Amino acid sequence: MTAGASRDAGRRASGTTRQGASQRASGTAHREGGQEFSGEVAVSPAGPGLPPGRGARLALTVLRGSRRFTAPVAGVAAAVLLVLLLQGNGFTSTLVLDMLVYAIAAMALDFLGGYAGLISLGQAGLLGVSAYGVAIAEVHFFSPWAAVGIGMSAVLALGLVLGIVAVRTKGVSFVIITLAMGQVLWGLAFQWVGLSEGDNGIPLAVLPAIGPFDLNDPLTLRMTVLAVFVAVALLLVTFVHAPFGLSLRGVRSNETRLAALGYRTGLHRYLAWVIAVFFTGVAGVLYIFVNQLISPATMAFSEDGLLVIMVVLGGLGSIWGPVLGAAVIVGFQQELSIYVTRWQTLMGLTLIAVVLFSPGGLWGVVRAAGRRRDALIARLEGKRGAP
Amino acid sequence: MQQFIAQTLNGLTLAGIIFLVSSGFTLVFGVMRVTNLSHGAVYLLGGYIGYSVITATHNFFYGLAAGAIAMGALGLLLERTLITWLGGSEMSELLATLGLIYVLDDISLAIWGGSPLTINLPGILGQSTTLPLSGVVYPNTRIFILGVSIVVAAGLSYLLRRTRVGAIIRAGVDDREMVSALGINVRLVFSLVFTLGAALAGFAGVLGGTVLGVYTGGDSDILLFALAVVIIGGLGSFEGAIVGSLIIGLIENYGTAYFQAVAYSILFIPVIVILLVKPEGLLGKVNR
């Protein structure tokens, strides 16, 4: 939350300085608007030529209010909506729960792909490792809490080792290598029947409980998943805005320069990988809590691809975008598949369209709207400042 | 011993099919820097089309040709549209071809359904032969596949080493900018390479359909083999694809025969070793 607040403060500060140099600011905003600034025409009543009237002042107040309050209001509204949706025992709450679990995995992948520039096509495999870890530990008579510990340790240990190989590469090679790793994990789950029960998968009977906090109670479980989701989201947003997140982006865009400045770029990538693996592991534990079954199908190549699609569709490098992406894709999968037989074609075409026409994804659209609003504010401020 | 010989031959057959797929993949990457993740889906679609044509015409060779030609046409179409539109951004191309997997697989599923199909070879090719010296009885289908792959490999090698087009392709792998600076129509070379790659995949799909079957999910299996091959052999290296295919084909087959529980996973031991020791691959030139 602190990161969000400081960003707002920063924006407000830049707003005040902008009033002085309003003309220049509005000029920049024009250029930022770029090719798709089609709102220009609709905006023009407040544009040059009209005297700064009461309408313009009202518009400015509304727009400034929107700048200040949209994010917190949307956040609170989303939280309230989620809590309400998760109350029932029906289809909707199950769907939302699935969305949240995949949103965690998608955010972790976005942290790796959007900020470190390392898009992994093996994340479903890692998600499966912690889920299998929990299930296999319980099969061998460990207590549910110990099973969670074993599942997380397994995925973390694996991540620490695999990372040594994986982060030596980047770009396309990294994608291919993580894909290969994910498939090895899938192969083990599928073929090592003695450990994994093969294609049938392993069910999970008992979930952890401590005192009155009992995850076997559906409502407690749902609220816990929501709480973990919020915690992971806030943590990742904090990481992204922390110095580590900034230097990580630096490593992505110009590794040579960062290395010359004395940053240990390889270590940055490795840490980003480990963080992403950890949170993917968290998603895996929640996955088996929610579904109470883990089978190789969860780790298949198509699932690795789905996670990447969630991130790209939502918007690479935005943390919140992939949450939207996860909601859309899981919704597609479970809801749309009932009505549209060929939903996979639709999904594939959607990804291609996003790559072709809207590389910023859904979150890019949101951001563009925000930029347009800020440009409008700058212009209105410019008008008022002028004699 | 007899079993070991049979397994070795099986491994070589598999290597042949993997080679047909991975050579196209590696050439496309080498010349165009396009990581075509839908290469496996093209292989599978080629297999399905071959199956339908064989069912309709009762001629295996028509099916083989149909699979190759149809997928070549698809490759040309993709190169002229999607790949061109993406304008050379490696990651965008990778992501778009990832989306393409879902589209192609879904189309295959819609037309041919989810149950596995098998392509049978006609006449003497469908029977078995007792091999001299060892006394191993071995299916002619696999011998045929092995022979065809060797012929294709020789043909490709001739194309790359002895013809003008091949020289341009090899030059493109080494230094793409220089090739276009010399006034060679790189666009045409790109189209040719992509079409050739897709046609090889479609061809392999029909050929592979005889021993591996044509089934949902076959695309990601073969894609993974191809990726392992190019990591081992080196992205963009034709000779690397031959060496890598042999390694992967043999390991996969011995693994399936002798280490059932980890067969699929031990495939990647050489991959990891190569990554640690020689990240550019055994015969790779392309700088990662």
Which residues in B lie closer than 8 A to residue A186 (C-beta atoms)?
A: 264
Of B105, B223, B268, the CB nearest to A344: B105
- Residue A320 CA to residue A58 CA, distance in Å, equals 31
Average pLDDT over residues B8-20: 92
Expressed as residue numbers, the domain containing A45 is 2-71+367-385
Domain identity same for A64 and A103: no
Of A191, A305, A359, the CB nearest to B261: A191
In a domain, B97, yes or no: yes
- Chain A, 354 to 383: residues with Cβ < 8 Å from chain B are 355-356, 359
Please report which confidence band the pLDDT of residue B2 belongs to, taking 50, 70 and 90 as the band edges.
Answer: confident
- Identify the pLDDT of residue A29: 37
Which residues in A lie closer than 8 A to residue B85 (C-beta atoms)?
A: 356
Average pLDDT over residues A134-142: 88
Domain identity same for A175 and A260: yes
Residues A277, A283, A286, A290: is their CA dihedral positive or negative? negative
Q: Where is average pLDDT lowest: A73-77, A230-234, B44-48, B256-260?
A: B256-260
- Which 3 state secondary structure label does DSSP give B182? coil
Q: Does pLDDT of B188 surpass 60?
A: yes
- Residue B30 CA to residue B173 CA, distance in Å, equals 5
Looking at the structure of chain A, the number of domains it has is 2
Beta carbons of B231 and A342 less than 8 Å apart:
no
Complex prediction ipTM: 0.88
In a domain, B253, yes or no: no
- Residue B259 CA to residue B253 CA, distance in Å, equals 10
Tokens of B272: 């990891």
Kindly list the distances between the CA atom of residue A338 and the CA atoms of A28, A341, A352, in Å, as whole numbers in the listed order. 47, 7, 23
- Residue B141 CA to residue B122 CA, distance in Å, equals 9
Q: Does pLDDT of A258 surpass 90?
A: no
Please report which confidence band the pLDDT of residue A385 belongs to, taking 50, 70 and 90 as the band edges.
Answer: low
Which residues in B lie closer than 8 A to residue A347 (C-beta atoms)?
A: 99, 102
pLDDT 10s digits, A108-122: 999 999 899 899 999
pLDDT 10s digits, A61-103: 888 888 888 888 888 888 888 888 888 778 888 899 999 999 9
Asked if A333 contacts A343 with a C-beta cutoff of 8 angstroms, the reply is yes
In a domain, A354, yes or no: no
Domain identity same for A112 and A227: yes
Q: Does pLDDT of A36 surpass 60?
A: no
Beta carbons of A183 and B82 less than 8 Å apart:
no
pLDDT 10s digits, A144-181: 899 999 999 999 999 999 998 888 888 888 898 899 88
Asked if A319 contacts A236 with a C-beta cutoff of 8 angstroms, the reply is yes
Q: Which residues neighbour B146 within 8 Å (Cβ) at sequence distance 6 or greater? A: B9, B12, B13, B16
Give chain A's count of helices (H) and strands (E): 18, 4
Please report which confidence band the pLDDT of residue A37 belongs to, taking 50, 70 and 90 as the band edges.
Answer: very low
- Identify the pLDDT of residue A40: 38
Q: Which residues neighbour B191 within 8 Å (Cβ) at sequence distance 6 or greater? A: B76, B79, B80
- Residue B279 CA to residue B288 CA, distance in Å, equals 8
- Residue B67 CA to residue A120 CA, distance in Å, equals 32
Domain identity same for A26 and A59: yes
In a domain, A252, yes or no: yes
Q: Does pLDDT of A281 surpass 50?
A: yes
In a domain, A193, yes or no: yes
Domain identity same for A371 and A240: no
| Distance to chain B for A345, nearest Cα, Å | 4
In a domain, A201, yes or no: yes
Domain identity same for A144 and A237: yes
**Would an 8 Å CB–CB cutoff place A19 in contact with chain B?**
no
Expressed as residue numbers, the domain containing B149 is 15-223
- Identify the pLDDT of residue A44: 43
Of B92, B231, B264, the CB nearest to A187: B264
- Identify the pLDDT of residue B285: 63
Task: Tell me which residue of A72, A260, A254, A61 sits closest to A170, measured CA to CA.
Answer: A254
Which residues in A lie closer than 8 A to residue B38 (C-beta atoms)?
A: none
Q: Which residues neighbour A215 within 8 Å (Cβ) at sequence distance 6 or greater? A: A207, A208, A209, A221, A224, A289
Domain identity same for A140 and A289: yes
In a domain, A238, yes or no: yes
State the burial class of residue A139 (Cβ atoms within 10 Å of its Cβ: 0-12, 13-18, 19+): middle
| CATH code of the domain in which A109 resides | 1.10.3470
Domain identity same for A174 and A143: yes
In a domain, B9, yes or no: no
In a domain, B94, yes or no: yes
Nearest CA in chain B to A169: B288
Whether the pTM exceeds 0.80: the reply is yes
Task: Tell me which residue of A383, A158, A369, A375 sits closest to A280, measured CA to CA.
Answer: A158
Greater confidence (A31 vs A315) lies with A315
- Identify the pLDDT of residue A384: 58
In a domain, A110, yes or no: yes
**Would an 8 Å CB–CB cutoff place B77 in contact with chain A?**
no
In a domain, B182, yes or no: yes
- Identify the pLDDT of residue A343: 85
Q: Does pLDDT of A307 surpass 70?
A: yes
Which site among A109, A172, A196 would you substitute to test the B interface, given the most B Cβ atoms closer than 10 Å to its Cβ?
A172
Asked if A284 contacts A101 with a C-beta cutoff of 8 angstroms, the reply is no
In a domain, B276, yes or no: no
In a domain, A353, yes or no: no
- DSSP code per residue over B114-134: SS-B-----GGGGSEEEPTTT
Domain identity same for A222 and A275: yes
In this structure, how many other beta carbons lie within 10 angstroms of the beta carbon of residue A67? Answer: 17
Beta carbons of A180 and B227 less than 8 Å apart:
yes
- Identify the pLDDT of residue A121: 93
Domain identity same for A229 and A108: yes
- Identify the pLDDT of residue A43: 43
In a domain, B284, yes or no: no
- Which 3 state secondary structure label does DSSP give A202? strand
Please report which confidence band the pLDDT of residue A227 belongs to, taking 50, 70 and 90 as the band edges.
Answer: very high
Q: Which residues neighbour A132 within 8 Å (Cβ) at sequence distance 6 or greater? A: A151, A154, A189, A196, A202, A294
pLDDT 10s digits, B218-257: 888 899 899 899 889 888 888 899 999 999 999 988 888 8
Strand partners, B137: B130
Q: Does pLDDT of A327 surpass 90?
A: yes
In a domain, A136, yes or no: yes
Looking at the structure of chain B, the number of domains it has is 1
- Residue B205 CA to residue B41 CA, distance in Å, equals 10
Domain identity same for A105 and A197: yes
Nearest CA in chain A to B40: A301
In a domain, B237, yes or no: no
Domain identity same for A176 and A265: yes
Task: Tell me which residue of B102, B98, B106, B103 sits closest to B36, measured CA to CA.
Answer: B98
- Chain A, 338 to 357: residues with Cβ < 8 Å from chain B are 341-342, 344-345, 347-352, 355-356
- Residue B268 CA to residue B250 CA, distance in Å, equals 13
In the Cβ-directed half-sphere of B183, how many Cα atoms lie within 13 Å? 0
Of B102, B224, B261, the CB nearest to A183: B224
pLDDT 10s digits, B148-175: 999 999 999 999 888 988 888 888 877 7
